[in-house]
Structure 1
Amino acid sequence: MPSVKSTSIKYLLMLLSLLFGIGPGKAAYADTVKASIIELSEIAIYPSRSAFASVITLNNSKLSAEVPAKIKSITAEVGQVVNKGDILIQLDSTDYNLALQQASANLIAAQSNLELSKKQLERAEKLVSDGFISSERLNLRETEFTNAKSDAALRRAQYNVAKRNVAKCSIKAPFKSVIRERIGQVGEITTPGSPLLHLSDLSTVEIDAKIQPRDIESLTLSSVIIFTSSGIDFPVTIKRIVPVVNEENRNQTVRLKFIKSQPSIGSAGTITWTTDQPHAPTDLIVQRNDQLGVFIFEQEKAKFFVLSNALEGSPAAINLPADTLVIYQGQHRLQDGEFVSTASD
């Protein structure tokens, strides 16, 4: 005959079964954990990233004279935009023009001498074949022609140098640029190599940004990147990524270019982009066995999915199908492989 104690325990278990709905068909799930599930597409986020950046130019040049001369005029002013080939500074070319005239005269004389030597050589070749002069006389004419030819080449080189020196007295803009500083003054004698004008190239404007290595992938995958300076947005695109991590601040240099309009050279701001890859929200991520990840719902069980690139306190990229069922409530008390009872059960 069963004891009073065993009979009481039996009735207590029956009462608990009635209260919590644990019938014979659900006895195997008596140890399940209540949790809520949702499709990844409904809870995933696409976080924005930002980084400091500045507008630079590849050519930030200081023009100087190539020849010593007095500055005759300066047509460029600070802030002025000039085109490639525009004359910015005119040097006094009087002495160089005189040197050019002299070189020209010397060249004409050398060319005339060369023509004469050529005719004399041709005549000597005919006379030696007829036996009127000796071969030694022919050799002399050949030597005279060779010397005249060399002298003409020398005079032409001297003429070209003199011509270039005259051209160097007109200092031109090497590219479309803006004048940033005027250093030389009218009346000064230039020294080759001493800067006269400071100008910035307007055709090679880029954005220089410093990006954390972990953000490089999301930046390359982003379809929209915006540079913001002084409250104005400018759409930009990646030009190149330097594949080297800076040893001092552990970041990577990224160069970007403007799609349409652009701010002034030297402007500072930030680049902002939104990743196109789904990310798990911070409150969805849990830690198990020193690894960060999320719990997904598969075959009535919780499965721990490791997020290899996750950082504590930050959303993490998640590479799962959009219809994956993710546990978003109750995940903090779950263990991998544990049975889960959903809120709808």
Structure 2
Amino acid sequence: MKTVCFVLLMGAAGGVAAATPPPAAINAADGRVRVQLMSRHAVTLSGEIAAKIAALSVVEGGSFRRGQALVEFDCGSYRAQLRKAQASLEAASELMKVNNQLAKYNSVGKLELTQAQGKAKEAAADASYAQTLVSKCSIVAPFDGRVAKRSAAVHQYVNPGSPILDIVDSDSLELRMLVPSKWLATLKSGSAFKVTVDELGATFPAHVERLGAQIDPVTQTILAIGVIDGKAANLLPGMSGWASFK
């Protein structure tokens, strides 16, 4: 049985969230706190080389598996550079072999031998660099997930760092909120609560997994982290609702 994880937060100082929740987000009187679902794993994929996109195997909303090639670049020029570097390495290695043999018979000077060794090392470094570039000609999925946004298209030329895909793991969700720090008297790891998701109109049982490390002195709130009990279908990042602790 898969467990859907939640991190209960909404706007802590110290970088956990961007803004302090409005007064309506916390109803301490009836033990309710406003929450938002977010993916534990969400990332923007971008290329590390300057190249034209040859293939994009996924569409917005589409699913993929870890290790699947999501983006393929047109790397003809990079592969040609690799072949050239490998040929230079082969020639330099052969020259060094010959000079090593000649050195046994004192038929080559120490300077020539040192230079041959240096050229071989330089050629090996060039070949390694070219191989590294070619290895970046595709982007593979770092986890199972879905495509949230496509920022580029096939045949488009992109520079290093240009966003191509926003991807999320929709099966590993966090529900974020802040709870009043005075709840610490009773709120512990393992404390049960219920989460009602607005978009689904459904309520799920959950429990606290752990609490934050510090209290926000301005809002007097603390981060709490919990999980939904059991498997919950149809939940997506961006959904929101209420967590009830009564």
Uncovered stretches (5+) of structure 1, i.e. residues with no partner: 1-46, 125-136, 275-345
Q: Please state whether the residue corresponding to 1:102 is helix, strand or coil.
A: helix
Does the CA contact (< 8 Å) of 1:208 and 1:256 recur in 2?
no
Whole-Å Cα distance in 2 between the matches of residues 256 and 221 of structure 1?
Answer: 8
- The alpha-carbon deviation at position 249 of structure 1 amounts to 2.6
Q: Give TM-score, length-normalised by structure 2.
A: 0.77
Which residue number corresponds to residue 69 of structure 2?
A: 87
Q: Aligned pair 1:267/2:239, yes or no?
A: yes
- The alpha-carbon deviation at position 203 of structure 1 amounts to 6.0
More RCO (CA 8 Å, sep 6+): 2
User: Matches of residues 1-345 of structure 1 in structure 2 within 5 Å?
Assistant: 49-124=31-106, 140-141=109-110, 143-202=111-170, 204-220=172-188, 223-229=191-197, 230-262=200-232, 263-274=235-246
Whole-Å Cα distance in 1 between the matches of residues 190 and 137 of structure 2?
Answer: 51
Which residue number corresponds to residue 8 of structure 1?
A: none
* 4+ runs deviating over 4 angstroms: none
Whole-Å Cα distance in 1 between the matches of residues 189 and 74 of structure 2?
Answer: 57
- Size of the aligned set, in residue pairs, is 214
Deviations 1:189-245 (A, max 9, x none): 111111111111346532212100011332216542332213323333334322222
- Tell me which structure has the larger Cα radius of gyration: 1
Uncovered stretches (5+) of structure 2, i.e. residues with no partner: 1-28
Cα RMSD between the aligned structures?
2.3
- The alpha-carbon deviation at position 60 of structure 1 amounts to 2.4
Q: Please state whether the residue corresponding to 1:66 is helix, strand or coil.
A: coil
Does the CA contact (< 8 Å) of 1:206 and 1:258 recur in 2?
no
Deviations 1:11-37 (A, max 9, x none): xxxxxxxxxxxxxxxxxxxxxxxxxxx
Q: Percent identity?
A: 23
